[in-house]
A and B are shown apart, each in its own frame.
Chain A
Amino acid sequence: MVRVEVIDNVLAPSPSRIIKIEKMTEIERLFHVKFLSRDLVERFVYRPGQFVEVGVTGVGEAPISICSWREEPEILELCIRRVGRVTNAIHRLKEGDLLWIRGPYGNGFPMEEMEGSNLLLIAGGLGVAPLRAVLQYALKNRERYGEITVFYGFKSYELMLFREEFLYLFREGDEQKLRLYLSYEDQNDEKCKRLAEERGERIVQGVVTKLFEKTEISPENTYAIICGPPIMYKFVVKELIKRNFKPWQIYLTLERRMRCGIGKCGHCIVGEGNSIKYVCKDGPVFTYWDALNTKGMI
């Protein structure tokens, strides 16, 4: 038998209180949850890009990335889209109700490794959630990073997540040496058009890759971090490679069915032949180099 690291039941979730629910869109809500056990707060050390298994009794668990970053993780923010049984059940909960949480899981983004470099964050839709944690971390430790550029694509003004925050950064981000670019898909979106009138150099109608036309992106000492729907990766990566980004300068975070979150249940296994990985344990953050070597990853 192999060496065993004994923790108490790793599959046992901890009760957390929903202290605040913010409606973001018709199908997305931001849940602020607070661990009930002080013990857990101390044990809960995480980095941006990690996720938790969020459970509702009688329904089950779903992997949700943490979309906030605080030194003291007493309160986690989880942006949850109502798409399946579990997330539907979560959406039915009210402030004061309990959620059952396990984690944090996954590798997260190598924030230390990227220190001293420029960051290019590219988010599409709900993919902005984990990148928001990266952004919060980087802004809190602003001096450790070079230029920060954010591309954020969404369908329409109404479907823009964390709207207030990002509009604030859109307008005032330069003060924190942050350049935020937005793209919206809906051609008839009047509110976005107004934003374009206000600051046309930072917003474009179309898919997120259109933002590459808006600004010069240099691969020099830069890491690109991407999160969005699976379809987005190929196009974004293509643009980055065109601009001479090396595969190991590009970070992606992946979605898969992750039942356990700890590399046991097998659902998130990806790859073929020589390279097979667990998305939950070896990822969900991978470099594009990993993706090139792991068939079926993106």
Chain B
Amino acid sequence: MERPKIGVFSLTGCGGDQLMILNLEDVLLDLLSYFDIKDFQEISSFKEDSDLDIAFVEGSVSTKQDLRKLKEIRARCKMLIAIGNCAISGGIQAMKNGQMEILERMKRVYGIEEDIYGVLEPKGLSAYVKVDLEIPGCPIEKEETLRAITSILHGDMPDQFDYPVCVECKLKEYPCVLIEKNLPCLGPIIVAGCGARCPGLGLPCIGCRGPIKEEANAAAELEVLLSKGYDEEHIVNLMRIFCANFGEIKKITEIIRRRSGKGRQE
């Protein structure tokens, strides 16, 4: 079998998803040996501008330069795999999307009003190009990633998680932190695959794998958390950490904004 030609790229993000691949210490060398690596800036100075069978891309599209780079990658690869929450939905940096204009963010942090970066409101890859597979997480899970890769090498597309963290939480027999500790757990609306890491540590799920697309009942989750005594603003901030670009969450932000009579902070 000819080794698939791959590239690993990053747009705007923390580098944590590429790092998770490197964190597969036990199998890393074996895994990499299946591929003909043409571009992997984080670990290699070798670079070849060839066509690619698979491109792994992490990070969000947050600048015009990101967008240019993404389009170039898409044009040269057969299969585009978005790795991590940033590449799927814009990630944590999208948290204030629709709430604070990007230039306002620039002003607050850098004290300048001029757009020297060519900034775009952070979004995931699929907002701009066709994405063949999304591996969620902030960061991605090693096991899920490995299984996706072996599945692809086997000739198939991997089976993806489309059920909530609650399922895994029960499979692991963890006590429910929402019920037992009244913690603001987002588990019911967030995609599983992490093995319910946070509830397993007695912590609430903060949603780093993103919502179950077209399925998460965010409105009901809001009601549940309100009934636990959390204030609207905090709940919305919480949901927005990783899910700000999703329709259901946007809707909730709007509802709360209208309810509290607050305008956009501009």
Q: Which residue of B lies closest to A60 (CB)?
A: B159
Complex contact B154–A58 (CB within 8 A): yes
The CA of A59 and the CA of B153, in the complex, are separated in Å by 12
Cβ of A117 under 8 Å from chain B: no
Chain B residues near A59 (CB, 8 Å)? 154, 156
The CA of A58 and the CA of B159, in the complex, are separated in Å by 10
Q: Which residue of A lies closest to B155 (CB)?
A: A92
Complex contact A85–B154 (CB within 8 A): no
Cβ of B31 under 8 Å from chain A: no
**Shortest distance between the CB of B137 and any CB in chain A (Å):** 22
Cβ of B182 under 8 Å from chain A: no
Q: Which residue of A lies closest to B158 (CB)?
A: A85
Judged by DSSP, the binding face of A is helix
**Shortest distance between the CB of B135 and any CB in chain A (Å):** 16
Chain A residues near B154 (CB, 8 Å)? 58-59
The CA of A165 and the CA of B157, in the complex, are separated in Å by 35
A55-114 CB contacts (< 8 Å) to partner B = 58-60, 85, 88-89, 92
The CA of A60 and the CA of B158, in the complex, are separated in Å by 11
**Shortest distance between the CB of A6 and any CB in chain B (Å):** 29
Chain A residues near B156 (CB, 8 Å)? 58-59, 85, 88-89
* Interface membership of chain B positions 126-168, coded 1 if the CB is closer than 8 angstroms to chain A and 0 otherwise: 0000000000000000000000000100111101000000000
The CA of A89 and the CA of B154, in the complex, are separated in Å by 10
Chain B residues near A89 (CB, 8 Å)? 155-156
The CA of A85 and the CA of B162, in the complex, are separated in Å by 15
Q: Which residue of A lies closest to B159 (CB)?
A: A85
The interface centre, meaning the residue of A59, A89, A92 with most chain B CB atoms within 10 A of its CB, is A59
**Shortest distance between the CB of B207 and any CB in chain A (Å):** 27
**Shortest distance between the CB of B34 and any CB in chain A (Å):** 15
Chain A residues near B155 (CB, 8 Å)? 89, 92
**Shortest distance between the CB of B256 and any CB in chain A (Å):** 37
Chain A residues near B157 (CB, 8 Å)? 85, 88
**Shortest distance between the CB of A201 and any CB in chain B (Å):** 48
**Shortest distance between the CB of B4 and any CB in chain A (Å):** 16
Q: Which residue of A lies closest to B157 (CB)?
A: A85
The CA of A88 and the CA of B154, in the complex, are separated in Å by 13
Chain A residues near B159 (CB, 8 Å)? 60, 85
**Shortest distance between the CB of A59 and any CB in chain B (Å):** 5
The CA of A270 and the CA of B155, in the complex, are separated in Å by 34
The CA of A89 and the CA of B152, in the complex, are separated in Å by 11
A33-62 CB contacts (< 8 Å) to partner B = 58-60
**Shortest distance between the CB of B143 and any CB in chain A (Å):** 16
A169-220 CB contacts (< 8 Å) to partner B = none
The CA of A169 and the CA of B12, in the complex, are separated in Å by 64
**Shortest distance between the CB of B59 and any CB in chain A (Å):** 28
B97-152 CB contacts (< 8 Å) to partner A = 151
Chain B residues near A60 (CB, 8 Å)? 159
The CA of A60 and the CA of B156, in the complex, are separated in Å by 11
The CA of A130 and the CA of B157, in the complex, are separated in Å by 29
The interface centre, meaning the residue of B154, B156, B157, B159 with most chain A CB atoms within 10 A of its CB, is B156
**Shortest distance between the CB of B78 and any CB in chain A (Å):** 16
The CA of A89 and the CA of B157, in the complex, are separated in Å by 9
Chain B residues near A88 (CB, 8 Å)? 156-157
Chain A residues near B151 (CB, 8 Å)? 58
**Shortest distance between the CB of A290 and any CB in chain B (Å):** 31
Chain B residues near A85 (CB, 8 Å)? 156-157, 159
Q: Which residue of A lies closest to B153 (CB)?
A: A58
A209-247 CB contacts (< 8 Å) to partner B = none
- 12 further A-B contacts with Cβ under 8 Å, apart from A58-B156, A88-B157, are A58-B151, A58-B154, A59-B154, A59-B156, A60-B159, A85-B156, A85-B157, A85-B159, A88-B156, A89-B155, A89-B156, A92-B155
Q: Top 10 closest A-B pairs, CB basis?
A: A58-B154, A59-B156, A89-B156, A92-B155, A85-B156, A85-B157, A85-B159, A58-B156, A58-B151, A89-B155
Q: List 9 A-B contacts (CB under 8 A).
A: A58-B156, A59-B156, A60-B159, A85-B157, A85-B159, A88-B157, A89-B155, A89-B156, A92-B155
Interface residues of A (CB under 8 A from B): 58-60, 85, 88-89, 92
